[in-house]
Amino acid sequence: FADNTKRGSWFVKFYTQWCPHCKRLAPIWEELALGAASAEWAVKIAEVDCGRDKAICDKLQVHGVPTLLMIKDGDVVAKYSGEHNLKTFEEFLLTQKSAGTVVASQAAPAQTFDADETPKGTTATSTQALWAVATHLFNNFPTKSKIVNLYCYGGFVIAALVGLLLVCFRHADQGEEEDDDHDKTD
């Protein structure tokens, strides 16, 4: 991976086999790669399976999938965060070209890599970070099963609502008792 991406511009998809979003993205990504190859774009389209090549994803700080990174001469220069469709990918690549991120090179169809590279300065917005944490918790806590997690979180929400209602009713009952005591003294 490091040898391949140290020269030129690469738009790389990081994915896993089990990810439903990655599965929906796969045909769009393949179409983008074929279009890049046939039009001889200056950027190469590639993909890395984080389930198989975890070391690459860890070194690039890929914590959620799918993650789409623009790599130029071995350095991560941009992270794509738009919609997953051919038109927005092409628009993103054009903005990268106008920003000087994309360098002239021969395009190639999507490739799968394994090796190492460390990113320089990739950051997420607070909304992206919050969404990533919530998604990670939902997918992995307390179990790896999304349906079991859904029932667990649903149970927590119901328990919290019941507790809130009990507190409200107890407070209302205390208010009625004070009113009854006040009426008896009159």
Active site residues: 19, 22
SS3 sequence of 62-90:
CCCCCEEEEEECCEEEEEECCCCCHHHHH
Q: Is 51 helix (H, G, I), strand (E, B) or coil?
A: coil
Q: How far apart are CA 127 and CA 132, in angstroms?
A: 8
Cβ neighbourhood burial of 126 (10 Å; 0-12, 13-18, 19+): exposed
Q: Read off the amino acid at residue 109.
A: P
d(CA 168, CA 82): 44
d(CA 100, CA 127): 28
Strand, helix or coil for residue 112: strand
Q: How far apart are CA 76 and CA 70, in angstroms?
A: 6
Question: Which tokens hold the place of 133?
Answer: 């944490």
